[in-house]
Structure 1
Amino acid sequence: MGQAKSRRRADVAPQSSQGAPSQMDVTLLPQELLVLILSWVPGRTLVTVGRLVCREWRDLIDSPVLWKLQGERDPSKREAFRAALEAARHCPRMEWARVGVLQPFGRNLIKNPCGEEQFLHWQVGYGDGVCLGDNTCWISQLVDLVKEGLWEDLLDTFQPDIFISDWWGTHEKCSCTYNLYVLLLAADRNSVITRFVTEMDPAAEWNIPFQQASHVFRKYGPGVRYLRFQHIGNRPGPEHTEAHITNSTVLVKLSG
């Protein structure tokens, strides 16, 4: 009896020790722990892969809790997430997965706002580009608002405020002019829904310090999908220096 019992244990023990290690079923984890684990996964992976796992994961990724954990952990995301929480107070249909990855609120949507690296991301024109005259120069950037993280229902129904600003100044005695043109465009990129144009007085003084031109688009109506940001300088002669521009900004905020 004793030998038979010992032999039975010997038969069972190797199967247990040599078998494949058991794998944890994450679907059995408490939701609080599952959210914490998922919050360490990169945002784009969560959206492109995690949402497809099951309905529970999809619902967690589409809620603000997971993105709040990421925002609190990463200092570079905190301001954008605070702006998103403020927006959520006024928009009950927030697309949190989209907002968590692209962070459209409280972030400058202009790329290369100071025109560095030979105006990377900007279109540059001279001569009679937009304004006639051989001494005219302009730079322009088209912002795809949907690609930057906003969505059609938000733009059409809730119409968040769009803040634009630009800093400009001159050096040397140049008698330059500075004009800022910002257009809100429809999906065809050509139809203008509304615009802001500021025409500054000629800068005829030596070393004009940087000053700000700004505007807020509110209640602009449905259909906005793009924003054209363009500033134009004109100088009286090629021997003079044109206006200098820096820190161009487009911010989207949703508030009451």
Structure 2
Amino acid sequence: MGQARSRKRAGTTPLSGQGVGSGLDLTLLPQELLVLILSWVPGRALVTRGRLVCRQWRDLIDGPTLWKLQGERDPSGREALKAALEAARHCPRMEWARVGVLQPFGRNLVRNPRGEEQFQHWQVGHGDGVCLGDNTCWISQLVDLVKEGLWEDVLDTFQPDILISDWWGTHEKCGCTYNLYVLLLAADKNSVIDRFVTKVDPAEEWNVPFQQASHVFRKYGPGVRYLRFQHIGNRPGAERTEAHITNSTVLVKLSG
């Protein structure tokens, strides 16, 4: 039998865009059009797969333009984009791929800030009768600042402001005490670099209106990797009397 005739056209080469499933050589497109196309790809896919395609794609994904297009297109991400652009003014070594996906600036880093769904994401404990007292209860959450999108250089060199806030009041027929403890911790999760502790007088009356406790950590020094956000309350009697807590907040802001 005669030799099988090849179907490959003379002068053709393999398509460099086949990994995207487009069947097109995207590297031949003008850079402005390539950025526009990539801006429609989900952020995590860009970082985990797109950066591996070639150096050109990696440089585009590591730059700000693509992420600006995504942020401007998504109303829910505009505040995060605004915060990231403000941070970029003061941090020339911005890791845009990381910031674009995780959005560490301009969003609340506390999970389940209202303590719903049986305090999911929170640790809950009670007094042991020795150190805290029988009627003491606490809830605590450890925030991994690096996992939430920050990185070592920005934490150590630029030391962004860390804004913490909480709202509390009473909701039963007896008073209580309320205290907020916020600790900035090193990589070992134990060494305390900075702290904030409220000094709130006991609420002796029931149905105390909500009031705010807040603080801003500034110039806290290098080495911060974690933040522990903890409420401690004491009810004076055996009845169900305690502080009512809501909207626990940790925001990171990099500004001059």
Q: What TM-score do you get using the length of structure 2 for normalisation?
A: 0.90
Aligned 8 A contact 1:137 1:232 in 2: yes
Task: Provide the rounded CA distance (Å) in 2 between the counterparts of 1:223 and 1:130.
Answer: 33
Tell me which residue corresponds to 2:99. Answer: 99
Could you tell me which residue of structure 1 aligns to residue 74 of structure 2?
A: 74
Cross-structure match for 2:234: 234
Cα offset, 1:226, TM superposition: 0.1
Q: Is the 8 A contact 1:173 1:204 kept in 2?
A: no
Give the structure-1-normalised TM-score. Answer: 0.90
Return the offset for 1:15.
9.2
The equivalences for 1:140-159 within 5 A come to 140-159=140-159
How far the C-alpha of 1:179 sits from its partner, in A, is 0.3
> 1:181-238 CA deviation, whole Å, 9 max, x = no partner?
0000000000000100012101012211100000000000000000000000101111
- SS in structure 2 at match of 1:65: helix
Q: Which amino acid aligns with 1:69?
A: L
Taking the aligned partners of 1:81 and 1:225, their CA distance within structure 2 comes to: 23
TM-superposed CA distance for 1:171, in Å, is: 1.9
- Number of equivalent positions: 241
| Counterparts of residues 124-203 of structure 1 (less than 5 Å) | 124-128=124-128, 132-203=132-203
The amino acid of 2:163's aligned partner reads: F
What is the CA distance between 1:239 and its match in structure 2?
A: 1.2
CA distance in 2 between partners of 1:159 and 1:15 (Å): 58
Change (3 A) 1:131 1:170: farther
Q: 1:121 maps to which residue?
A: 121
Identify if the C-alpha distance between structure 1 residues 87 and 131 changes in structure 2 by more than 3 Å, giving closer, same or farther: farther
| 1:46 paired residue number | 46
Instruction: Name the CA distance, whole Å, in 2 between partners of 1:147 and 1:153.
Output: 14
8 Å contact from structure 1 (residues 129, 138) kept in 2:
no
Closer, same or farther: CA 214–15 of 1 in aligned 2, 3 Å? closer
Equivalents in 2 of 1:68, 1:148: separation in Å?
A: 20
Matches within 5 A, 1:76-91: 76-91=76-91
Q: Which protein has the bigger helix share?
A: 1
**Change in CA separation of 1:174 and 1:63 when aligned onto 2, cut-off 3 Å:** same
Partner residue in 2 for 1:111: 111
Report the alpha carbon displacement of residue 44 of structure 1 after superposing the two structures with TM.
Answer: 0.4
Q: Quick one: distance in 1 between partners of 2:60 and 2:101?
A: 14
The answer to whether the Cα contact below 8 Å between 1:109 and 1:148 also exists between their aligned partners in 2 is yes
Q: Quote the RMSD (CA, aligned, Å).
A: 2.0
Task: Tell me the distance in 2 between the aligned counterparts of 1:155 and 1:106.
Answer: 16
Question: Following TM superposition, by how much is the alpha carbon of 1:129 offset from its aligned partner in structure 2, in angstroms?
Answer: 8.6
> Who wins on radius of gyration, i.e. which is larger?
1
| Structure 1 residue 128, shift from structure 2 partner | 2.7
Query: How far does residue 175 in structure 1 lie from its aligned partner after superposition?
Result: 1.8
**SS of the residue aligned with 2:162?**
strand
Paired residue for 2:20? Answer: none
Q: Percent identity?
A: 87
In the alignment, which residue of structure 2 is the partner of 1:223? 223
Per the TM alignment, residue 108 of structure 1 is displaced from its structure 2 partner at its CA by: 0.1
Paired residue for 2:55? 55
